[in-house]
Amino acid sequence: MTATVSDLLLDWYDAHARDLPWRARPGHVLPSDGSWPYRVWLSEVMLQQTTVAAVKPYFSAFTQRWPTVEALAAAPEEDVMAAWAGLGYYSRARNLVKCARAVAELGGFPANEEELRELPGLGAYTAAAVAAIAFDERAVVVDANVERVVARLFAVEEPLPGARKAIRDHADRITPTQRAGDFAQAMMDLGSGICTSRDPKCLLCPLAGHCAGRLTGDPARLPIKAPKKTKPLRLGRAFWVERDDSVWLVRREGTGMLGGMRALPDDGWSARGNGAGGPAGETLGRVRHGFTHFDLELSVEQVAEPLGEGEWWPLEEIDRAGLPTLFAKVARLALAR
C-alpha cells in the first residue's frame, strides 16, 4: 500500500521533531497538571508574526511568573503589558489577559475548535492550532510555514492572498483524523527547516515524491506573492524629561497604538498621520521604527518640564519599565547623549 502524505510526514516528524519548550515530543506523556492547553495557547499567541528564537525567553518568563491560565487571569494588565514589552504587536498582550480571564471563568479551555473561536483574541488559526495540538482534535492548521508547504506540494499558481482558500482546501485533504496535533506541528517544522522560503532542501524532504512544485523545477517561486505596497512614513516627536537621575514616563491610553504601555511623552503621532504640537526642545537625534502598516521617524527632544500625567522613573532602572521597543530605542539614544 502506498504511504500517504500524512504517513510520510508523521514518520519524519517522529525522528526530527524540534525540541521546543511549549511542545510535547512524539511519544512523550503530556503534563498531568492541566497546564498543557495553557502552554499551547500562550505559545501560539506569542508566535504570531514573531520568530521562535524571540519567543523562547518570553515564554519561559511568562510561564515561570504565571504558570497557569488562572494565575495569568489574576495578573494586573499593566504587569502583563510590561512583561510583553519588546515582543511587539501589543494588542496580543491585551487580548491575552482578556482571554485568560474568560477561560478562568469557564473553568478551563474549551476542547473544540468552534468554542475556542468564541474566546477573545482567538482567530481561525489559533483556535485550530489549540484544538489540534492541545486536544488532538482534527483541525486544519495553516500558518505561513504550512501555507508555503501546501502551495508547493500542490503547485498552487494563484497569487496570495487569493490563493488562501485553495491552500486551505488542499491542507484539509491531507490532514489526518489521528495525530492531528503532531501533523500540524510536523508541517510547521517542515516549512521552518526544510521547505524554506528561499532555499528549499528538496533532497531531504519526506514529501519530495509527492510534490508537484518540485516537478516544475523551481519550487522556491511558490507561493506566488502579490507585490508589497510601499509603507507610508509618519513623523513625530518624543520628549525626554530628565531630573535628579530620573526620567518622566507616561502611560499610553488603553486603546490604540501601544495602548496601556509605559512610554515617553510624544506629540500624538499615529498610524493615520504625523504628530503635532508640544514644546520646543533640544534635539538629541532621530529614531526610526517599523510598524506593520507604516514606518515612523521620531525626533527625540529634551525639554525641561513634564508633559501629561506620569511618574518619575529612575534612570538606573529604565530596563525594568517595560517600554515598548520604539521607546526603548528613544531611551537608548537619549542616554547615549
Spatial CA neighbour of 47 closest among 196, 190, 185, 254: 185
Please give the radius of gyration of the chain, using alpha carbons only, rounded to the nearest integer.
Answer: 23
Q: Are 167 and 150 in contact (CB under 8 A)?
A: yes
Report how far residue 116's alpha carbon sits from residue 162's, in angstroms, rounded to the nearest whole number: 26
Q: Is the peptide bond prior to 232 cis by the omega test (within 30 degrees of 0)?
A: no
The pLDDT value recorded for residue 221 is: 95
Q: Which residue has the cell 522556491?
A: 220
All cell numbers assigned to 226: 502579490
Q: How far is CA 250 from the centre of its chain?
A: 26
Q: Which residue has the cell 499610553?
A: 252
pLDDT class of 3 with cuts at 50, 70, 90: confident
Q: Which residue has the cell 500624538?
A: 268
All cell numbers assigned to 33: 497538571
Mean pLDDT value across residues 304-328: 92
Which domains does the chain possess? 5-221 (1.10.340.30), 233-336 (3.90.79.10)
**pLDDT reading at 2 higher than 60:** no
Convert the pLDDT of each residue in 113-163 to its tens digit.
Answer: 999 999 999 999 999 999 999 999 999 999 999 999 999 999 999 999 999
The pLDDT value recorded for residue 278 is: 80
* Catalytic residue ranges: 44
Convert the pLDDT of each residue in 63-101 to its tens digit.
Answer: 999 999 999 999 999 899 889 988 888 889 889 999 999
Report how far residue 280's alpha carbon sits from residue 301's, in angstroms, rounded to the nearest whole number: 8
The predicted model scores a pTM of 0.83
Strand locations in the chain (E): 233-240, 242-243, 246-251, 262-263, 282-290, 295-302, 310-314
User: 290 phi and psi, to 5 degrees?
Assistant: -100, 125
